[in-house]
Structure 1
Amino acid sequence: MNASVLIASHYGVVHFGDLECEAVVLKGGERGYVRRQLATLLGFTERQRGDRFTKFLREFVPKSLSCIEKEEVTILLPSGQKAQLFPAGIIADLATAVVDAAVHGTLHAARQKIVPNCMKIMRALATTGEVALIDEATGYQYHRAPDALQDLISKLLRQSSGSWERRFHADYYRAIYRLFGWKYQGHDRNPPPVLGQITLRWVYGPVLPAELIDEIRSRKGITQKHHQWLSDKGLSRLESQIHAVTAIARSSVDYRDFSRRCEAAFGGGALQLALLADEFEEVA
């Protein structure tokens, strides 16, 4: 564990519905939460934190645990109190894994009580991206360097919404529905919520960084779809990813198998802004 203490340059309280959690941004731009508060939201009392919380993380987000332990640092809050940082980028996967376990009937009875909080976290992040939530709560949105983001916005997003065209065809839906043993019967006006979560995580996530998805959310109307805001370059990336995800879904045994294959193929499904900026620099 790193013995150094880092000072939070920006601090605020993130709201997941009616839940509250202290959030910080460090000088290097790393975002995260106060670990003890996040543990409380997930049902761990003061006495149960530590080993039990680590065991919980190992069960639901094993691939992220090494990242949490590696980046675990002590931070100094404006109040003068010291706290442990829980890095951003993991809470959505953690909440989703808990809810998935509840849906599949594999969640331990003692953990059923945290499902409502996990659903509140998922709903909040579905409406506003995690980066935007933290930046708004801490005021960091007024201090971050805009150059790289604005450059990518100009390349991948339109100035105004385009007309709607079908981008996700029946083959995609049939392949995803089959993972759950459902039969796709044509266009569904009220598709199951898990479909939107899969699409956001494995179609949009690997080809658009979180900052661009947040920008689309801030622009689009209630009835508009994300892809209506993509430029030709953005649509090209999207369509290639739809084909890739469809192929993986077709060859997967079930949702767990599909998720593992996507993790292996797309590295967790979270494209970083810097990586995409570098890619466009090379192409230019």
Structure 2
Amino acid sequence: MQENNEPKGKAKGGKARAAKMTAEEKKAQSLKMVQAKAELASMPKVIAGSNDEPLKIGEIELECYVLDDENKTRVFSQRGLASALGWDPSQAAARLANFTEGGFLNPFVNNEIPDLLRGALKFKNPHTPGYMIGYPATILADLCDAILAADAKGVLKKGQEELARRALLLVRGFARVGIVALVDEATGYQRIRERDSLAKILEAFVAKELQPWVHTFSPDYYEQLCRLRGIPYPPQKRNFPAYFGTLTNKIVYDRLAPGLREELKLAASKSKKSGRLHQHLTQEIGHPKLREHLSSVVTVMKLSNNYEDFETKFEVVHPELPKPSTRK
């Protein structure tokens, strides 16, 4: 039987519409698609948090995330913010807009809230298609303050008692623990934050080409390194010992490629004359090799009782590479 490869459903309709388009219309549509892809690529990405690990405050659950932008913005999803206030998530955008613009709460909100609601953040979640919409997490505290102020003035309408009850519940939760700390705990971001403190140490050894990859070191690597060295994790002083950078050089860079450590120092110096570092760590080869090596390192760490035990086992699995000859 001959297979029918004719498009069906939406695909068939799309093909029919494309056939009717003029050359100018096709060009405009193509440009629109390119612009949409560019916008999506430029959006901040989620680095911590997931929809199945919400922030819980009493009976209220909030989808929360941490983004990879400059400020590491903590956000609540638009749907999560609406759910926290007892609204239908599908009507989140309209309800939030009407909530402060010309509504009964307008006299009680600060000047920043309307702008923040209008300028909702678009961001990419690797676990969902397209993009998500959210707001800075601190905006919820401002909204709750406005609701409670309106309630105190007696301007809440009949049937809005539940809104005031939820606002009070949320504010009490925020008062017990800072909202940023709550989001960090719910998303696991505090583990990444501790990792970043070590990244700053490593930046003294790693040239610019490699710095974006410093953050590919998993939290397991630092947690196991702390365990083997007898140091609490996360560190009590919020910073890892400076010598961790030296250990990482020996564990990673001395075993990743011959002469890599020397190249890193050369590339980091002001007298660098050639960008040879990328020959060792490229997107196609160097980066995958780094991840592969780190995975092996963590496995050996987990099998070790202390740092001396780790050194013995690690030398068997990943012996130090010979230094390249300096002869011309």
TM superposition score normalised by structure 2: 0.41
Q: Which has the higher contact order (CA 8 A, sep 6+)?
A: 1
TM superposition score normalised by structure 1: 0.46
Q: Which has the larger radius of gyration?
A: 2
